RNA sequence: GGGCGGGUGGCGAAGUGGCUAACGCUGUGGUCUGCAAAAUCACCAUUCACCGGUUCAAAUCCGGUCCCGCCCUCCA
């Protein structure tokens, strides 16, 4: 695999320190807020990297930190009059809610600043000892000019930076670019005891300390958003390499930004979208698809239309999945001879699988990989449309193709499945509606058939009729209660028209789905039996 | 001001020296369908911001011009 390394500015072949093992550190969120879409991009990008490396046979050791001691957290906690660490804990919990919904695998270790104070204090002490840092009245600063390679990641010289510096210079610092390793405690701030008095760590030191603690003094990949290149990652390198005298990270990966109407989305500009709100409107796999349909280093513009387009595009892939599943219907285990068409079909699938891998190997080119997935869907659909499913060989071929197709979609995390109780109830209710509609169609009662389809369409459920029956498809699960109401309304009409056998049929089917119906003088009452 | 990246069809987005410029969305026509939907087949950029150069060959390399985003300050 080749990876674009920010350090060299080039794509380089991935050569891990240990064979078949990759050690990755990704900068996680500062926990003072619900995460927004901009935070979600690196989560999904590096989760995809992780899945892909696993798929390619690597053992992946993945560490993602929480910065739970920070100016913004303290400010927010003071505003709300609560303890800073308590606020952090709250948003860490909320982080996991959102990340789980997005299908982000948990890291092997999620270290927090607050739990590594001794390690951080030791590190700061060591840096002072070695002349890379100095103390002034309870503050400790890193001495930038003592570290030779300063600026190698962000490709800037110290002189350039001094010239363009917009920061208010702290006169006590030896160099304007020296940055804080330890900050002296002020009133109403959480603090920890140290050899320099009560205080707390500066922003960058935690990542140097925690990454090397869990992954070693040198590790393979460090990732994060492009805005972290300077100063955060530049400073991480300076601290870590000053401390160990060894190269800190071999491959630096940075994702591009999400913009809103061509303007950077950020908490400070106030134009950010909270991930949770987006996940309430669109399924997680659609959001993932949107985030990786563009190469990770490119900027990505966001608006509602983008998710809608992603939804439609992904629906095409998932439709192929469903068509293929229906085609094999559990007969997959059979062994059978493949005819020429089926063999050619599988050859094509293998070749597209190879193309997918080739794309992913080229700096995680998910955009191109997805392109190959669409070609695979096309190949699959064409075969399904032309090969009779009565041939066992065809079913075997589709089964194998489906396995490949699904595996690749799972690498990207775009074939997420939700099957819980709610879904079962919905499936059952939809099935009643479909049966009702089939009966109407058989009786040439197209008015009722179309009405059912139209009403379902209002609930964003599409009805499709095929030679072997109808099916309901949806990306967003409809509300079970509304479906029950719908069925009861139809039943009410049957009753009014004195079609009691039809009305009773609906009631019986609803009972099968654990819906209890009571006809009262005031009207119909119902409830789920297990609710 | 300094640094980095980018401008590809109606839209989104790959491609970085040589086959018909992927793929998706949208749109158009045919098949299928009670009608639809899905699926399927076909069509939709002689052209890659602009100008000049290198080369047998450039969207891809070089020079210039215009425009856009990001970083240099907390930020994914």
Q: Is residue A319 part of a domain?
A: no
Q: Residues A415-440, buried b or exposed e (16+ Cβ, 10 A)?
A: bbeeeeeeeebbebbbbbbbebbeeb
pLDDT band (50, 70, 90) for residue A396:
very high
**Per-residue pLDDT reduced to its tens digit, A174-216:** 888 899 999 999 888 899 999 999 999 999 999 999 999 999 9
Q: Parallel, antiparallel, or unpaired for β A179-184 and A199-201?
A: antiparallel
User: Is the C-beta atom of A113 closer than 7 angstroms to strand B?
Assistant: no
In a domain, A154, yes or no: yes
Supply the CATH number for residue A144's domain: 3.40.50.620
Residues A392 and A445 grouped into a single domain: no
* Structural domain boundaries, residue A503: 421-528
Residues A109 and A230 in one domain: yes
Would you state the pLDDT for residue A1? 93
The CA distances from residue A61 to A21, A67, A411, in Å, are: 8, 20, 17
Where residue A332 falls among pLDDT bands split at 50, 70, 90? low
Strand B close residues, chain A 141-180, CB < 7 angstroms: 154-156, 160-161, 163-167
The pLDDT value given to residue A40? 94
CB A104 within 8 A of CB A50: no
Query: Are A354 and A248 members of one domain?
Result: no
**How many other C-beta atoms lie within 10 A of the C-beta of residue A161?**
19
Instruction: Give residues 17-56 of chain A lying near strand B (Cβ < 7 A).
Output: 27, 29-30, 38-39, 41-42
Same domain as A495, residue A405: no
A423 CA to B27 C1' distance (Å): 36
Q: Do residues A334 and A464 both lie within one domain?
A: no
- In this predicted structure, which of A20-34, A204-218, A283-297, A454-468 has the lowest mean pLDDT? A454-468
Whether residues A351 and A370 share a domain: the answer is: yes
Work out the average pLDDT over A102-123. 96
d(CA A438, CA A446): 10
- Which pair of tokens denotes residue A437? 């509609």
**What are A477-504's pLDDT values in tens digits?**
888 888 888 888 889 888 888 888 888 8
At A106, is the pLDDT very low, low, confident or very high (cuts 50, 70, 90)? very high
Is residue A361 within 8 A of residue A1, CB to CB? The reply is yes
Of residues A184 and A264, more confidently modeled:
A184
Asked, for residue A312, whether it belongs to a domain, the answer is no
pLDDT, tens only, A26-36: 999 999 999 99
Q: Is residue A235 part of a domain?
A: yes
Which residue places its CA closest to the C1' of nucleotide B38? Answer: A464
DSSP-assigned letter for residue A185: -
Tokens standing for A285? 């796999």
Query: Is residue A317 domain-resident?
Result: no
Give the pLDDT score at A348. 94
Sheet containing A139-142: order of strands: A133-136, A139-142, A179-184, A199-201
Confidence of residue A362 (pLDDT cuts 50, 70, 90): very high
Same domain, A105 and A173: yes
A145-160 mean pLDDT? 86
Q: Does A148 fall in a domain?
A: yes
A319 strand B contact, CB < 7 Å: yes
CB A437 within 8 A of CB A452: yes
User: Is the pLDDT confidence value at A166 over 60?
Assistant: no
Total structural domains within chain A: 3
Same domain, A200 and A271: yes
Q: In Å, what is the separation between the CA of A284 and the C1' of B30?
A: 37
Token reading at A226: 């492009």
Long-range contacts of A308-311 (CB under 8 A, 24+ apart): A310/A282, A310/A286, A311/A282, A311/A283, A311/A286, A311/A475
Measured distance CA(A379)–CA(A373) in Å, rounded: 10
Both A166 and A82 in a single domain?
yes
Taking the CA of residue A178 and the C1' sugar atom of nucleotide B43, their distance in angstroms comes to 63
pLDDT band, residue A272 (cuts 50/70/90): confident
Q: What average pLDDT score do residues A431-439 get?
A: 90
Same domain, A392 and A428: no
Same domain, A507 and A361: no
Mean pLDDT of A100-109: 96
Per-chain mean pLDDT for chain A: 90
Residue A350 has pLDDT above 80, yes or no: yes
What is the CATH number for A375? 1.20.120
Distance CA A290 to C1' B27 in A? 23
Return the pLDDT at A329: 79
Q: Indicate whether A358 belongs to any domain.
A: yes
Query: pLDDT of A65-102, one tens digit each?
Result: 999 999 889 999 998 999 999 999 999 999 999 999 99
Which of A93-102, A260-269, A342-351 shows the lowest per-residue confidence on average (mean pLDDT)?
A260-269
Phi, psi angles (nearest 5°) of residue A166: -110, 0
- d(CA A335, CA A448) in angstroms, rounded, equals 44
- The long-range contacts involving A171-179, CB below 8 angstroms and separated by at least 24 positions, are A172/A136, A172/A137, A172/A139, A173/A136, A173/A141, A174/A134, A174/A141, A174/A143, A174/A145, A175/A143, A175/A144, A175/A145, A177/A144, A177/A150, A178/A141, A178/A142, A178/A143, A178/A144, A179/A141, A179/A142, A179/A144, A179/A204, A179/A231, A179/A235
* Rounded Cα distance, A233 and A223, in Å: 9
Kindly state the percentage of chain A with pLDDT values over 70.
95
Rounded Cα distance between A144 and A138, Å, is: 19
Question: Nearest nucleotide by C1' from A259 CA?
Answer: B69
Same domain assignment for residues A16 and A49: yes
Per-residue model confidence as pLDDT tens digits over A225-243 = 998 998 999 999 999 999 9
**Total Cβ atoms within 10 A of residue A308:** 14
Lowest mean pLDDT among A130-139, A293-302, A464-473: A464-473
Q: Is A311 a domain residue?
A: no
**Pairwise CA distance, residues A444 & A105, whole Å:** 51
- In this predicted model, which residue has the larger pLDDT, A332 or A442? A442
pLDDT tier, A168 (very low <50, low <70, confident <90, very high otherwise) = low
């Amino acid at each position: 695999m080749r990876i674009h390394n920010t350090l060299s500015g080039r794509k380089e072949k991935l050569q891990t320190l240990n064979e078949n093992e990759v050690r990755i550190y990704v900068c996680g969120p500062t926990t003072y807020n619900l995460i927004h879409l901009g935070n979600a991009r690196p989560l999904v990008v590096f989760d995809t990297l992780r899945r892909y490396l696993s798929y390619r046979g690597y053992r992946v050791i993945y560490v993602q930190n929480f910065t739970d001691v920070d100016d913004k957290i303290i400010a927010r906690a003071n505003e709300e009059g609560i303890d800073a660490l308590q606020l952090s804990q709250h948003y860490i919990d909320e982080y996991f809610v959102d990340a789980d919904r997005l299908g982000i695998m948990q890291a092997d270790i999620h270290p927090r600043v607050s739990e590594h104070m001794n390690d951080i204090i030791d590190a700061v002490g060591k840096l002072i000892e070695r002349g890379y840092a100095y103390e002034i009245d309870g503050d400790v600063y890193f001495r930038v000019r003592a570290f030779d390679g300063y600026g190698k990641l962000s490709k800037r010289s110290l002189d350039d930076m001094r010239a363009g510096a917009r920061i208010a210079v702290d006169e006590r610092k030896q160099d304007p670019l020296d940055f804080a390793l330890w900050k002296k405690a002020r009133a109403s701030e959480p603090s920890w005891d140290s050899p320099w008095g009560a205080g707390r760590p500066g922003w960058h030191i935690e990542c140097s300390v925690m990454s090397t603690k869990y992954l070693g003094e040198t590790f393979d990949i460090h990732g994060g958003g492009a805005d972290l290149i300077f100063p955060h990652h530049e400073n991480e390198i300076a601290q870590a390499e000053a401390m160990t005298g060894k190269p800190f990270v071999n491959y630096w990966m940075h994702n591009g930004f999400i913009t809103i109407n061509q303007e950077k989305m950020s908490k400070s500009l106030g134009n950010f979208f909270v991930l949770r709100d987006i996940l309430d409107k669109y399924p997680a796999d659609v959001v993932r698809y949107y985030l990786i349909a563009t190469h990770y280093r490119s900027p990505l513009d966001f608006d509602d239309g983008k998710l809608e387009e992603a939804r439609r595009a992904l629906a095409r892939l998932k439709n192929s999945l469903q068509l293929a599943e229906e085609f094999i219907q559990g007969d997959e285990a059979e062994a059978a001879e493949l005819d020429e068409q089926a063999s050619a079909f599988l050859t094509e699938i293998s070749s597209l699988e190879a193309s997918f891998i080739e794309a992913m190997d080229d700096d995680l080119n998910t955009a191109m990989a997805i392109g190959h997935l669409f070609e695979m869907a096309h190949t699959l659909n064409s075969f399904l449309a032309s090969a009779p499913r009565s041939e066992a060989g065809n079913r075997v071929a589709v089964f194998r193709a489906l396995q490949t197709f699904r595996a690749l979609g799972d690498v990207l995390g775009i074939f997420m499945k939700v099957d819980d109780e709610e879904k079962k109830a919905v499936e059952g209710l939809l099935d009643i509606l479909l049966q009702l509609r089939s009966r109407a169609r058989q009786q040439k009662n197209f008015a009722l058939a179309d009405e059912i389809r139209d009403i379902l369409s209002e609930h964003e459920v599409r009805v499709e009729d095929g030679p072997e029956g109808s099916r309901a498809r949806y990306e967003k699960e409809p509300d079970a209660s509304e479906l029950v109401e719908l069925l009861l309304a139809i039943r009410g009409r049957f009753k009014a028209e004195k079609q009691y056998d039809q009305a009773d049929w609906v009631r019986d089917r609803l009972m099968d789905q654990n819906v209890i119906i009571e006809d009262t003088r005031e009207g119909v009452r119902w409830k789920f039996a297990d609710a």
